[in-house]
Amino acid sequence: MNKKGAEKILSVYWFVILILVAGGVFAMVYLFYNHPYDIRDLEADILSNKIADCLSEKGYLKSKIFYQGSFSLSSENFLNKCNLNFESKEEEPQYYSEIQIYLFENLNNPILEILNGNKNLISSCEIQNENYQKLAKCSEKKFYTLDAENNQYLIKILSIVRKTEKNVK
C-alpha cells in the first residue's frame, strides 16, 4: 500500500472518530440540560431560614419585630418588614408562609399568627411523597427564642413553594 492510500484510510478513521466524539458530547449535553433541576425543597428551606432570620437573631427576638411587650409584625406588613417578595410571573401565587408564635407557657394557643401567600397550597403538605411530584414542596421549621426580658417563645414556620411549571416535567 502506498503512502496516499494509507493517508486516505487514516483520514476516514479520523472523521469517524471526530463524529463519534462530537456525537457523544452532544448526547451528554442534551441529557444533562434536558431535565430541569427541582430545587423547590431547597427554596422552601431557604424561605423558612430567611423568615427565621427576620424574626430572631442570636437567640433573641429582633427589636423591629418585638418591642416593649408587643409584636409589630402582622400579615399586612410581614413581606415588607422581612424584605420578601412573593410575586411571580405566573397568574397564581407560587408561595405561602405561615408563622405561629407561642408563649412557652401556653403551646396550645398562638399569641401571633401570620399567614401570607396562596392558601390553596397547604393541602400539598399533607400528601407529600415521591408519587406526587407535581405538588408544592413544604418546609416546616421550629425554634425557641427569647425576648429582652427573657420570656421564652416557640416559633413555627411553614413555607411552601409551588413552581411546578418550571421545575417538574
Q: For 57-104, write each residue's pLDDT tens digit.
A: 888 888 888 877 778 888 888 888 888 888 877 777 888 999 999 998
- Judge if 59 and 119 occupy the same domain: yes
- Judge if 69 and 145 occupy the same domain: yes
How is residue 112 written as a grid cell?
401571633
- Judge if 99 and 131 occupy the same domain: yes
How is residue 90 written as a grid cell?
405566573
Give the helix ranges, DSSP H, for 56-97.
Answer: 78-81
CA distance 26 to 24: 5
Q: How far apart are the first and last CA of the chain?
A: 56
- Judge if 104 and 133 occupy the same domain: yes
- Judge if 56 and 135 occupy the same domain: yes
Q: What are 128's strand-pairing partners?
A: none
- Judge if 19 and 44 occupy the same domain: no
Specify the higher pLDDT residue, 120 or 140. 140
- Judge if 45 and 87 occupy the same domain: yes
Structural domain count of the chain: 2
Tell me the per-residue pLDDT of 2-43, one tens digit each, with 9 for 90 and over. Answer: 666 667 676 778 888 999 999 999 999 888 877 767 788 888
Range of the domain at 3: 1-34
CA distance 34 to 1: 48
